[in-house]
Each structure stands twice: as C-alpha cells, then as structure tokens.
Chain A
Amino acid sequence: MDVVIGQLFTGLSIGSILLLAALGLSLTFGQMGVINMAHGEFIMAGSYTAYVVQQIVSTGGASLFISLIVGFLVGGAMGVLLEVTLIQRMYHRPLDTLLVTFGVGLILQQLARDIFGAPAVNVVSPGWLSGGVDIFGAVVPKTRIFILVLAIVAVLALSMALKKTAMGRRIRAVVQNRDLAETSGISSRRTDISTFFLGSGLAGVAGVALTLIGSTSSTVGQSYLIDAFLVVVVGGLGQIKGAVIAAFALGILNSFIEYSTTASIAKVIVFVLIVIFLQARPQGLFAVKTRSLV
C-alpha cells in the first residue's frame, strides 16, 4: 500500500512540475500558435534567478518568495523581448517559430554556461521545507508538497486572470477572433505581448520551483521542455483544464511505469501510449470546437 501511495505522490509531484512548465506553453502555443522552444531556457533563467537572489538575500524563506516574484518578472521580460524582436514578425509561419526559438535557446544555453560556468549550481531550500510528511505510511518530502501547492496556486491564478481581469478578457477575445477584437478597439499587438509576458513569466516560476528539487545547470530547462510540450498536445491546445489533467496523468503514468521498469524504458512506453492516445483523440483531451475541417 505505501508503495502505491509513494508512487502516486511521486507522480503527483512530477505532474505538478510538468504542469508549471506546461501552463505557460499552453498559453503561448495553444492560444497564439507560437511554438516557443526557448521556453525551456526561460525555465532555466528562473532557476538561475533563484540562485542569484540567494547570493544576495540569504535568509531561506524570504529568498524563496522573492525568487518566485523576480523569477516571474525575469521570465516575463525575456518573453516580451523575444516577442518584440522576433516572434511578432512570424505569426503567419508558426512552424518556423520553432526553429528560430530553438536558435535563441541554443544561444541562451551557451550564455548561461559562459556566465555561471558548466558545473551545476545549487540553491539551498529554506529550513521549513526540509524533511518530509508521513502520508499513509509513505514519506513525502515537504519540497514536493510545496511545488504541488505552487502548481495549484498558479493554475487558479492564471484562470482567474483570464476570466476576471480586463487583460484576460482581451487575451481570450483576441484568441477567439482576432479581427473582431481589433474592430472592437482591442490592440492585438499589446494583447500578444501581455500573453507572452504571462506565459514566459510562468516559465520563470517553474524554474524557481525546480531549484527546490535539484541542481541547476544550463540544460535544466531542455529536459522538461519536451514533456511539457507533450502535456499541451495531450491536453489540447490552449486548454488549462486539459493541461492540468494531462500533466498529472502523464506524471502518475510515468512514475508507475518507471517503478516497474526503468526510467529509459518508461520514456519510450509513455511516448508510445501518447501516440496511441492520439489515435482516439487527435486534438487532445479537450478541443475548442471550430468549423475547420480537421
């Protein structure tokens, strides 16, 4: 029993990390059709932000919360910079955004290696997050519970922002019908930028969260990016609900398959399962109903 509970919590915690990484992607990829391969490097930037903040503010708890805020702003600023310089030129060529942002990602990775050095750095998590909690006989590290809570808060905050704020309403309006939104006086340029700020900021938050469970190197974002993309594909484009279900489903699936086989075999099995799943639902779990033919 405690094995099952333990694996379940490992799965939930993998899922919550995937969710944090995928939420921002779901926004920029799902709602704007931009495939941002540099999203992984925005995650990395969040992780290094936490490292830098800790060098300045060394008191555990405060440093974590400052990092979360600064990480959000750093990620968001990088996203806005990318949108303004490159992506706005290529909204009509979505597949090319993938290659361009891959190039940006390569540059950012090398930049991180040159600034922070090749070896991984560590961020000390605050004292009140050390140790674990006993849940039905399985010991779950407090850091993992914190990330789970953080993911839930991020989902709630994002859906509130999209539903209740003026900016969120503008974002949804532009996504649903760009021309009509323009006609009603919404600047789609400014909305695109704020969407990108929000999505990339969430990547920064994900990066800060990652420092709680592992060390930070220049490739930290890359290792989560593919899985985050798969979450968006399985969940359905631009669907927060879909991303939540897909992230936890993939996380739990992964942890149970990994338990009975090995980590590398589990990756392949999960991939095959996703391709099989797409046979049943090519558009992911939830899809916006459109009149397009596919």
Chain B
Amino acid sequence: MSEFIAKRGALLGFALAAILLFAVAPAVLSDFRLNLLGKFICYAIVAVGIGLACGRGGMLTLGQGVFFGIGAYIMAMHLKISDADLRGDDVPDFMSIAGIRELPSYWVPFTSPITTILGILFLPALVALVLGLGVFKRRVKGAYFAILSQALAAAFAILLIGQQTTGGSNGLNRFRTFFGFNLNDPANKQMLFFIAAGVLLVVVAITRQLMYSRYGELLVAVRDQEERVRFLGYDPANVKIVAYVAAAFFAGLAGALFVPIVGIISPNDVGIVPSIAFLIGVAIGGRTTLLGPVLGALGVAWAQTTLSEQFPSGWTYAQGLLFVVVVGFFPAGIAGLFALRKRKQESEPVPEPSEEPEKELTR
C-alpha cells in the first residue's frame, strides 16, 4: 500500500514539474529569463548524472566537462557548418579568416544532421566506456580515479585551446540556425527551452528507474562494500562503468543543448574549473538523492548569474566558501537537512549522519 502511494507520489511530482516547466515558466518568464532557465536546465542534466555516479556510485567524477564538451563541440561544429552553407562557403567563418580553405577531416562527419545526433548520443558514452574499462577493470579507484578524471579534463581543454580548427580559446560561437530553424526567432528559442526541459524530465525518469532497480541497489552496495559485492560474484567494475557511462551520456546531451541555447562553447566551459564547479550544485542539493542535484544545480546557477552581475569577483569567493562550508560541514547537502528534520518530526532519536559510505570511498 505504502509502495503504491510512493509510486503515485513520484508520478504526481513528475506531473507537477512538467506543468511548472511547460506551462508556468513560459507564461511568467520573459524570453530572456526563459532562455537563461534553459541554460540552467542544461547544468541540471549534468548534475543528475553526477548524482548517480558520484552520490550513488561513490565515483568522484571531476571530468564531466569533457563529456559535456564533446556533446557541445559536436553540436557546435554542425551548427557552424550549416551556418557556412547559408553563406555559400565551404568552411566556417573563423576558418576562412585564418585561411583554411578545406574542412578538416574530423569536421566532415558532422555535416550530416544524422551523424551529428549519433555522435552526440554515442561519442561521450564511448569515451567514458573506454576510460571506465581502463580504470575500473584494473581496480583503480578513489583518489586515483578522481585525479585521472581531472587530468582528462585538463588534457581536453588544452587540446581544444591548442587547435586552430576548434576555434582555439575563443571556442565556437555565432550560430544562426538549429537544424533549419532560425535561432533568432523567439518562438524557436522557446522550442529549444521545451526540448531542454523535456530532456531533463526524461533523464530524471531514467535515473529514477535506475536508482530504484536491482541495479541501483547493486551500485550502492559497490559504493559501500566493494569487496563484499565482489565476493558475492558480481564484477563491481561493470556496475561502476554503467553509472559512469550514463553520467557521461547525460553530460553529452546537456552540452549539445547548451550550445544552441547559450550560443557559445569555449574551452572555458569544459576545463577543470567548470568540471569541478558542476559538483557544487550536486553537493548542495544532496548528492545521494535524485532531485537534490537538480535543484542544487538550478539554485547555484541562478545564484551565480545574479551574484556575478553585481559583484564580479564576489562569486569566486562565494563559490569557494560554498565548497568549504557545504562539503566540509553538511556533506549530505540540503536534502540531508530535510531528512534530519523529518526524522525529528517523527520524534525518533536522531542518528548521527552516516559516515559509512564516505569511509569506503578511499581505496
């Protein structure tokens, strides 16, 4: 019975979120604010994946910017090529200025919309799969994995900056059309918002199914007692790889949506600092929960936009303080505080916040 209520509760929440995103938000927000919310939603999609891999799976993924960036750059390359088509040129504007007359070979697949979409769907996941196989199968974990994922982000950003054909440190910008739709038309911008909101809902639904399945139990078990899971006959590496690949897949989708919504992608959006910054929303919201990361990411993105408008250097201090205070003193995030209050209301003895999972995160 209670299970039925819980199930209906989730459905209700889902419906409520859908109404908020698809009916209320477009009605009350200006075009500019709606577009901004669309950008925040992209961050929230990344956060859902981090919540799964990091909160549930205990893998500290510091390199989500890489997967975000792969999705984003693929989309951006396609948009640049269609922009060049409109002008009747073979190569994007920044290349013809640099005197490059021929499309670089790695750009060619993304002239077609179909390979572009396939690339966005599969390339980030494929990179995550290869790295995951290389790392988890050899039982490299904990801090080692965190450092490797971070080094990957560093290498990726340096690679992008070093190549002229990726737009260097300027990145790719000035897109005019999105699969044939004019990007300056407010109606099309609204459509983009709806796509992003829809993707967020689907991603949350997928993650919920994963979390509450047998696989979800196994993932938490691997996080807490990897050796015992191994002795039970499972391969913890496979369990971890699934979560890591799913997180990369979500991040790639988010990157691809980010590009037409925001209108620019550059190495600044995918390097080490943004990669780790993705984590702060997740940590604030509560990394082991489903909705904590979503709400945390939305809240942090909103705070960043409003704060950095008023105090340009203030946001860096605020961000640093958030990491110190939230991670250092409230490791379970806001969701953890709610859980604590709920327990108090039920007048049960309040147990100490469990440190068990974190203890096992090391090695």
Contact = CB atoms under 8 A, between A and B. Distances in A.
A264 B316 contact: no
Interface in B118-162: 131, 134-135, 138-144, 146-148, 150-152, 154-156, 158-159, 161-162
A103 B324 contact: yes
B283 A99 contact: yes
A270 B158 CA distance: 13
A230 to B, nearest CB: 6
A263 B280 CA distance: 31
Chain B at the A interface: SS class: helix
Pick the 4 closest A-B CB pairs, nearest first: A264-B162, A103-B323, A106-B320, A107-B320
Contact of A89 (B146, B276, B316, B328): B328
Contacts of A103: 319-324, 327
Interface stretch (B36-44, B300-308, B353-361): B353-361
A271 B151 contact: yes
B331 interface: yes
Contacts of B319: 103, 106
Interface stretch (A108-116, A139-147, A193-201): A108-116
A100 B313 contact: no
A177 interface: no
Interface of B: 60, 62, 131, 134-135, 138-144, 146-148, 150-152, 154-156, 158-159, 161-163, 227, 272-273, 276, 279-280, 283, 313, 316-317, 319-324, 327-328, 331, 355, 358-359, 361-363
A226 B154 contact: yes
Nearest to A271: B155
A267 B328 contact: no
A1 interface: no
A72 interface: no
A177 B202 CA distance: 49
A222 B275 CA distance: 14
A71 B322 CA distance: 29
A35 interface: yes
B159 A265 contact: yes
Interface string A253-294: 000000000111101101100111011001000000000111
A275 B323 contact: no
Interface residues of A, number: 46
Contact of B143 (A29, A86, A110, A263): A29
A33 B362 contact: yes
Given A107-B317, A107-B320, 11 more contacts: A94-B362, A99-B283, A100-B323, A102-B276, A103-B323, A107-B321, A110-B316, A222-B272, A233-B148, A275-B131, A278-B144
Contacts of B323: 99-100, 102-104, 106
A264 B159 contact: yes
Given A95-B146, A264-B163, A110 B355 contact: no
Given A86-B328, A92-B358, A264 B283 contact: no
Contacts of A241: none
B233 to A, nearest CB: 16
A109 B147 CA distance: 20
Nearest to A280: B138
Given A95-B143, A110-B317, A100 B155 contact: no
Nearest to B161: A264
Given A93-B331, A100-B324, A100-B328, A267 B155 contact: yes
Contacts of A233: 144, 147-148
Contacts of B158: 263-264, 267-268
Given A107-B316, A292-B363, A265 B162 contact: yes
Contacts of A271: 151-152, 155
A229 interface: yes
A105 interface: yes
Chain A at the B interface: SS class: helix
Contacts of B156: 268
A113 B142 CA distance: 33
Contacts of B163: 264
A268 B159 contact: yes
Nearest to B319: A106
A86 B324 contact: yes
19 contacts: A33-B362, A93-B358, A96-B327, A98-B62, A99-B323, A103-B322, A105-B320, A229-B147, A267-B159, A268-B156, A270-B155, A271-B152, A274-B151, A275-B131, A275-B135, A278-B144, A282-B139, A293-B227, A294-B139
A46 to B, nearest CB: 20
A90 interface: yes
A138 to B, nearest CB: 26
A294 B159 contact: no
A98 B146 contact: yes
B143 A94 contact: yes
Contacts of B227: 293
A95 B143 CA distance: 6
A95 B276 contact: no
Contacts of B159: 264-265, 267-268
Contacts of B317: 106-107, 110
B94 to A, nearest CB: 18
B134 A275 contact: yes
Interface string A14-49: 000000000000000100010100000000000000
B145 to A, nearest CB: 10
B142 A279 contact: no
Nearest to B313: A110
A104 B154 contact: no
Contact of B313 (A95, A96, A114, A267): A114
A35 B143 contact: yes
B313 A279 contact: no
Interface string A53-89: 0000000000000000000000000000000001001
A86 to B, nearest CB: 6
Given A226-B154, A264-B161, A90 B138 contact: no
A282 B163 CA distance: 32
